[in-house]
Amino acid sequence: MIIAVDASGGEYAPHEVVKGAIKAAKEYEVEIALVGRKEILYVLAGRHMGKLGMSIIDASEVIDLHESPVEAVRGKPDSSIVLGTNLVKDGLASAFVSAGNTGAVLYSALVNLGKIPGVERPAIGCLINVNTTAPVLLIDAGANAECRPTHLAQFARLGTTYIREIFDISSPSIGLLSNGEEEKKGNRLTQETYQLLKTAKLNFIGNIEGQDISAGTTNIIVTDGFTGNIVLKTIEGMSTNWLYSLSQSGQLFSKAYSLPSRALHRDIGMDSWSKRLDYREYGGSCLLGVNGNIIIAHGRSRAKAIKNAIGLAKQTIERNVYQKIKEESYE
Amino acid sequence: MIIAVDASGGEYAPHEVVKGAIKAAKEYEVEIALVGRKEILYVLAGRHMGKLGMSIIDASEVIDLHESPVEAVRGKPDSSIVLGTNLVKDGLASAFVSAGNTGAVLYSALVNLGKIPGVERPAIGCLINVNTTAPVLLIDAGANAECRPTHLAQFARLGTTYIREIFDISSPSIGLLSNGEEEKKGNRLTQETYQLLKTAKLNFIGNIEGQDISAGTTNIIVTDGFTGNIVLKTIEGMSTNWLYSLSQSGQLFSKAYSLPSRALHRDIGMDSWSKRLDYREYGGSCLLGVNGNIIIAHGRSRAKAIKNAIGLAKQTIERNVYQKIKEESYE
């Protein structure tokens, strides 16, 4: 199993990406193909290559986080994002993991891999683990800012296959994110989507609200990519603040009572809280509906998040998610 | 100054509402008119009436939290919500505070008070104080699930007047909530709204993202009521979980080190955190754009939240917010 990793993508590339890839190669026993500038990658990863079965694919161009996706993908055929996607297309890699420009990864996947027949809009499924032990998948987490009801109904199907295959949940529950529980609540998009989901052969439990996200009311939260992206970043922003406050509080308390700060973390469970809040612990998001396994990691991923994203890629490959979605016949 | 308070509205009505009203009457020196079932209110508040200048307005009907707003308002003319709104309309009260069915309060305000001339859609402005000292107003927090760009542009104006008058900020900054900072990011609604705000005489700083909400990037966050409601409830859900975990952690730690739990709260600043996270500390939301001062409190408000909502009502009256909005000439 070869997993291609974008070594030029993300705020902490290439150093943290390479560190995460090395960790993943050791922990998950997967072969990593680092896609990026070969001179740097040989320096950073050279001595690990033989032993861990890592390889380097030279990508001379880099797509910046703020570049326009369409222009960047068209204008930089030798970028890590385009080359990484093409490794999947040509069967040379079983998955591509990138913390780079999300729009560019999306567009490259659309034009190079193409959509699974019948899927109108591939969507980003993001696992969020704020305060629940059961998996919660937010779909679409940002691929499609403007959606139609049929798109959202397909997101529900894509998410169902994903959660079913990855977590062995035979009939994952689905909630439609809205501004009220009642059927008639919502905007036109959710009202019409509700009618589609009601008659679909899915475990649709109805509308859910914002507070249900952290309560883990359903396994799958269906929403448009505009709302999904805002919700995800709202959670992230709050988590970042809390983590900062936790660390401040811990320091204050340790001083006041002359206790080692690790006591605070260990004994009152702050560590488990940090884990739930820290996006570095998340395994990345999966682009569902394209012909291949594409994993999107957070742009601010450090080594740990990259390692986890590669772990998710391995799971996605092993569980054959892409093939299972294809078998669902969306046409 | 007489402030009418819906004593039949909210999950903890009438007991907590009356308790909050009594506290407010003492602390803010305002005259409260309790609107609700007089038999109960005499029992609960009777002995405070003379001294605190409280009065009771009998409202024999109650609109339930889950009733359809339009039918409820039409069918229950003797409900606390309809009577409370009419007290404002008739000049018998300077403001109406309700923790009851938000949709019914909105509809009653629309039909009984009417819109300020030129305002297309009154909106809910909600102060959120998650992690910032500067005021942050989310508008629309849930009145209008389906919006047009001109509505959002008006929300920006309504919010500007509100923050300017209440907090003495001459030119409050405005961010448009979107899924990316760049001008072209967003859905059709935000893309078109961006163009309107760019040329408006407002302190518009551009698109902001989810993480900017808790960072306090701008004083005003403009969004449609669908997204605003979801964001607000997402924050609330996370805060509730967080408060629960804090209290659990505090108990564990107190046990482990035989410390009084108040030490934890006082010394590591958990109290200030709780305050920032707890909606009981919030002052409620203001319905902006109707002919009168309407304050919407959280449906799960206990005494403290009711007291704070009455405090906000007093401020809104004293700062003449409704009159100031009217002077802005929306026509």
ipTM given for this complex:
0.91
Helix, strand, coil % (nearest 5) of chain B? Answer: 50, 15, 35
| CB–CB contacts below 8 A, A to B | 164
Residue B290 pLDDT grade (very low, low, confident, very high; cuts 50, 70, 90)? very high
Question: What is the chain B residue with the closest CA to A211?
Answer: B237
The chain A residue lying nearest B67, using CA atoms, is A182
* Angle value at C-alpha A195, between A191 and A196, nearest 5 degrees: 115
Where are the strands (E) in chain A, listed by range? 2-6, 31-36, 55-58, 95-98, 123-127, 137-139, 174-177, 204-208, 220-222, 285-288, 293-296
**Dist. CA A148–CA B35, nearest whole Å:** 44
Q: Which residue on chain B is closest to A270 by alpha carbon?
A: B249
The answer to whether residue B280 scores a pLDDT higher than 60 is: no
Are A69 and A101 within 8 A, CB to CB?
yes
The residue whose two tokens read 């919030």 is B282
Query: For chain A, what is the mean pLDDT?
Result: 91
User: Of the candidates A303, A319, A323, which has an alpha carbon nearest to the alpha carbon of residue A44?
Assistant: A303
Shortest CA gap B289–chain A (Å): 21
Q: Is B82 helix (H, G, I), strand (E, B) or coil?
A: helix
Chain A interface test: which of B268, B270, B277 (most A C-beta within 10 Å): B268
Phi/psi class of residue A114: alpha, beta or left (left: φ > 0; alpha: ψ in -120 to 50)? left
pLDDT at A141: 97
Residues of A in contact with B271 (CB under 8 A): none
DSSP B16-34: HHHHHHHHHHHHH--EEEE
Contact B249 A269 (CB under 8 A): yes
Question: Which of A180, A185, A226 shows the shortest C-beta gap to B179?
Answer: A226
Q: Minimal Cα–Cα distance from B134 to chain A, Å?
A: 16
Question: CB A179 to CB B229 under 8 A?
Answer: yes
For B65, residues 6+ apart whose C-beta sits below 8 A from its C-beta are B10, B11, B100, B101, B299
Instruction: Please judge whether A188 and B146 are an interchain contact, meaning their C-beta atoms are less than 8 angstroms apart.
Output: yes
> Residues of A with CB below 8 A from B229's CB?
179-180, 209-210
pLDDT score for B312: 94
Residue B278's pLDDT band, with cuts at 50, 70 and 90, is low
**Which residues on chain B are in Cβ contact (under 8 Å) with A209?**
229-230, 233
Contacts of B131 in chain A (CB under 8 A): 238, 241, 245
Q: CB distance B230–A235 less than 8 Å?
A: no
Please give the pLDDT value at position A78: 98
CB atoms within 10 A of CB B307: 25
Please give the residue that has the higher pLDDT: either B240 or B142. Answer: B142
Say if the Cβ atoms of B215 and A131 lie within 8 Å: no
Q: Please indicate whether, in this complex, the C-beta atoms of B227 and A230 are within 8 angstroms of each other.
A: yes
Q: Which positions in chain B touch A213 (Cβ < 8 Å)?
A: 234, 237-238
Mutation for testing the A interface, residue in B214, B218, B222, B240 having most A CBs under 10 Å = B214
CA distance readout (Å), A143 to A147, A152, A321, B233? 10, 12, 19, 23
Instruction: Indicate the CATH number for domain A121-281.
Output: 3.40.718.10
Q: Render B169-208 in DSSP notation, one character per residue.
A: -SS--EEEE-SSSSTT-S-HHHHHHHHHHHHSSS-EEEEE
Instruction: Give me the residue from B66, B235, B273 closest to A245, CB to CB.
Output: B273
Q: Record the tokens describing residue A325, joined without a space.
A: 């979605």
Q: With a cut of 70, say whether residue B315 has pLDDT above it.
A: yes
Residues of chain A with CATH 3.40.718.10: 1-119+289-331, 121-281
Q: What is the pLDDT of residues B141-198, one digit of tens each?
A: 999 999 999 999 999 999 999 999 999 999 999 999 999 999 999 999 999 999 999 9
Q: Among B233, B258, B276, which would you mutate to test the A interface (most chain A Cβ atoms within 10 Å of its Cβ)?
A: B233
**Cβ proximity of A35 and A4 under 8 Å:** yes
**Torsion (CA) A34, A39, A43, A46 in degrees, nearest 10:** 50
Q: Suggest the residue from A140, A179, A267, A277 to mutate for an interface test with chain B (most B CBs closer than 10 A).
A: A179
| C-beta atoms of A145 and B211 within 8 A | no
**Predicted confidence (pLDDT) per residue in A98-130, tens digit:** 999 999 999 999 999 999 999 999 999 999 876
CB contact under 8 A, B227 and A232: no
CA distance B136 to chain A (A): 14
Q: Do A226 and B227 touch (CB under 8 A)?
A: yes
Q: What was the pLDDT predicted at A260? A: 61
Chain B: residue whose CA lies nearest to A66: B182
B248 contacts A130? CB cut-off 8 A: no
**Distance (Å) from the alpha carbon of A257 to chain B's nearest alpha carbon:** 9
**Nearest Cβ partner of B238 from A130, A179, A224?**
A130
Q: What pTM was estimated for this model as a whole? A: 0.92
Query: Among A99, A15, A114, A19, which Cα is nearest to A63's?
Result: A99
- pLDDT of res. B247: 67
pLDDT in tens, chain A (331 residues): 999 999 999 999 999 999 999 999 999 999 999 999 999 999 999 888 888 889 999 999 999 998 999 999 999 999 999 999 999 999 999 999 999 999 999 999 999 999 999 999 999 999 987 666 788 999 999 999 999 999 999 999 999 999 999 999 999 999 999 999 999 999 999 999 999 999 999 999 999 999 999 888 999 999 999 999 999 999 988 888 777 776 666 666 566 666 665 665 555 555 555 565 555 566 689 999 999 999 999 998 999 999 999 999 999 999 999 999 999 988 8
Q: d(Cα A73, Cα A70) in Å, to the nearest integer?
A: 5
Pairing of β B137-139 and β B95-98: unpaired
Closest CA to A253 of B81, B249, B187: B249
Q: Report chain A residues whose CB lies below 8 A from the CB of B138.
A: none
Position B206 pLDDT exceeds 90:
yes
pLDDT band at B201 (very low <50, low <70, confident <90, very high): very high
Please state, in angstroms and rounded to a whole number, the distance separating the CA atoms of residues B230 and B83.
30
Give the SS3 label for residue B224: coil
Give me the sheet containing B285-288, strands edge to edge: B55-58, B31-36, B2-6, B95-98, B293-296, B285-288, B123-127, B137-139, B220-222, B174-177, B204-208
Residue A129: closest C-alpha in chain B: B238
- In sequence order, the β-bridge partners of residue B33 are B4, B55
Give the residue with greater pLDDT, A178 vs B242: A178
* pLDDT tens by residue, B44-72: 998 888 888 899 999 999 999 989 999 99
In one letter, which amino acid is B328? E
> How far apart, in whole angstroms, are the C-alpha atoms of residue B207 and residue B184?
9
A 10 A CB-CB count for B51 gives 9
Which residue in the block uniquely carries the two structure tokens 């046409």? A331
Count of CB atoms within 10 A of residue B150's CB? Answer: 13
How far is Cα A92 from Cα B40, in angstroms, rounded to an integer?
76
**Letter for the amino acid at B180?**
G
Q: In angstroms, rounded to a whole number, what is the distance separating the alpha carbons of residues B252 and A267?
A: 7
Q: Which of B188, B234, B245 has its CB closest to that of A235?
A: B234
Task: Report chain B residues whose CB lies below 8 A from the CB of A263.
Answer: 256-257
> A61-69 long-range contacts, Cβ below 8 Å, gap at least 24?
A62/A8, A62/A36, A62/A37, A63/A8, A63/A9, A63/A100, A63/A101, A63/A104, A64/A101, A65/A10, A65/A11, A65/A100, A65/A101, A65/A299, A66/A101, A66/B182, A67/A101, A67/A104, A68/A103, A69/A101, A69/A103, A69/A104, A69/A106, A69/A107
User: CB distance A210–B273 less than 8 Å?
Assistant: no
A231: Cβ–Cβ under 8 A, 6 or more apart, which residues? A138, A177, A210, A213, A223, B210, B230, B231, B234
Nearest CB to B267; choose among A180, A231, A252 = A252
pLDDT at residue A250, as a whole number: 62
Q: Do A210 and B232 touch (CB under 8 A)?
A: yes
**CATH superfamily placement of domain B120-280:** Isopropylmalate Dehydrogenase (3.40.718.10)
* Exposure string over A23-58, b if 16+ CB within 10 A, otherwise e: bbbeebebebbbbbbeebbeebbeebbeebebbbbe
B212, B230, B249: residue with CB nearest A210: B230
Question: In degrees, to the nearest 5, what angle opens at C-alpha B219 toward C-alphas B144 and A142?
Answer: 60
Average model confidence (pLDDT) across chain B: 91
Q: Which residues contact A320 (CB under 8 A, 6 or more apart)?
A: A165
- What is the fold of A1-119+289-331? Isopropylmalate Dehydrogenase (3.40.718)
For chain B, give every residue range classified as CATH 3.40.718.10: 1-119+289-331, 120-280
Ramachandran region of residue A35, left (φ > 0), alpha (ψ -120 to 50) or beta?
beta
User: What CA–CA distance (Å, rounded) separates A296 from A286?
Assistant: 6
- In this predicted model, what pLDDT tens digit does every residue of A177-196 receive, in sequence order? 999 999 999 999 999 999 99
Strand order in the sheet with A220-222: A55-58, A31-36, A2-6, A95-98, A293-296, A285-288, A123-127, A137-139, A220-222, A174-177, A204-208
A87-103 as b/e, with b when 16 or more CB fall inside 10 Å? bbbeeebbbbbbbbbbb
- The nearest alpha carbon in chain A to B226 belongs to A179
Q: Which chain A positions have a beta carbon within 8 Å of B225's beta carbon?
A: 179
**Is the Cβ–Cβ distance between B324 and B114 less than 8 Å?**
no
Q: What is the pLDDT of residue A135?
A: 86
